[in-house]
Chains A and B, each alone.
Chain A
Amino acid sequence: MADQVLDAKGLNCPLPILRTKKAIKEMNVGDVLTVHATDPGAVKDFEAFCRTTGNELLESTSAGGEYHFRIKRKQ
């Protein structure tokens, strides 16, 4: 499986993280998951999620009430 996009817009804590975990599990090491979210709490949560799980947060951006995260599966 190659790079993926996960639409988590409109979902509130903890659903964006739970859906992200589910998506990453299906991917290969080295693949990149892009998550689109609208929950402002997701910014801190995705940083914490990546630090704890060892996956790499390549990018975290926000524009127009949307938050985009690019996460590389590391293990």
Chain B
Amino acid sequence: MSSREPARNMSIIVTKGTLDWAYPPFILATTAAAMGLDVTMFFTFYGLGLLKKDLDLQISTLGNPAMAMPMMGMHVVMPNIISAIPGVDAMASSMMKNLIKKKGVASIEELRQAAVESDVNMIACQMTMDLFEFKKEDLIDGLTIGGAATYIETATKCDINLYI
């Protein structure tokens, strides 16, 4: 342990919107807030979808070459090619959701609610909203809407800046 002052502020850039990629930013943001840090999350590109009022998150087996799901006491890897088969991603998503429930892992909805309750500052990227045609009313309440400069200003005041 060094003797320097512990960090008091953290920011996270959230760029991905699948069920699996939604976990790291929300887990780290809520935990940091619980440990007394001021936290800002900047949601851009596919990450913006995590701010929609109604979430129905899916995972993709494509581009997840290391994904291995526990099945019947073994680990079964999901080769990229099977994502081309209709219904495979939906099946993998429901398997993941069952595991999440069974293992006492929080849902993304629950973690997002915890983030809101612990005053995590959430910035929705204006450019992404224009690009993918999201309206303010599609997203949860209490967001700041801003751009890169809004995020950078926050980041200059943060001890920890993460990109996920």
Interface residues of A (CB under 8 A from B): 10-15, 17-18, 20-21, 39, 48-49, 52-53
Size range of the chain B interface in the assembly? 10 to 19
Contact indicator B27/A13 (Cβ below 8 Å): yes
Expressed in whole angstroms, the Cα–Cα distance for A72 and B46 within the complex equals 42
Q: Which single residue of chain B is at the shortest CB-CB distance from A14?
A: B31
Contact indicator B31/A18 (Cβ below 8 Å): yes
Contact indicator B36/A53 (Cβ below 8 Å): yes
Expressed in whole angstroms, the Cα–Cα distance for A52 and B35 within the complex equals 6
Contact indicator A14/B30 (Cβ below 8 Å): yes
Expressed in whole angstroms, the Cα–Cα distance for A48 and B32 within the complex equals 11
Knowing A14-B106, A15-B106, A18-B114 are in contact, say whether A52-B36 is a contact too (CB < 8 A): yes
Chain B nearest CB, measured from A67 CB (Å): 14
CB-CB contacts of B20-62 with A at 8 A, as 1s and 0s?
Answer: 0000000100110011100000000000000000000000000
Q: Which one of B6, B27, B34, B114 has the highest number of Cβ atoms from chain A below 10 Å of its Cβ? A: B34
A residues less than 8 Å from B111 (CB atoms): 14
B residues less than 8 Å from A11 (CB atoms): 104, 106
Chain B nearest CB, measured from A29 CB (Å): 15
Q: Which single residue of chain B is at the shortest CB-CB distance from A9?
A: B104
Contact indicator A14/B34 (Cβ below 8 Å): yes
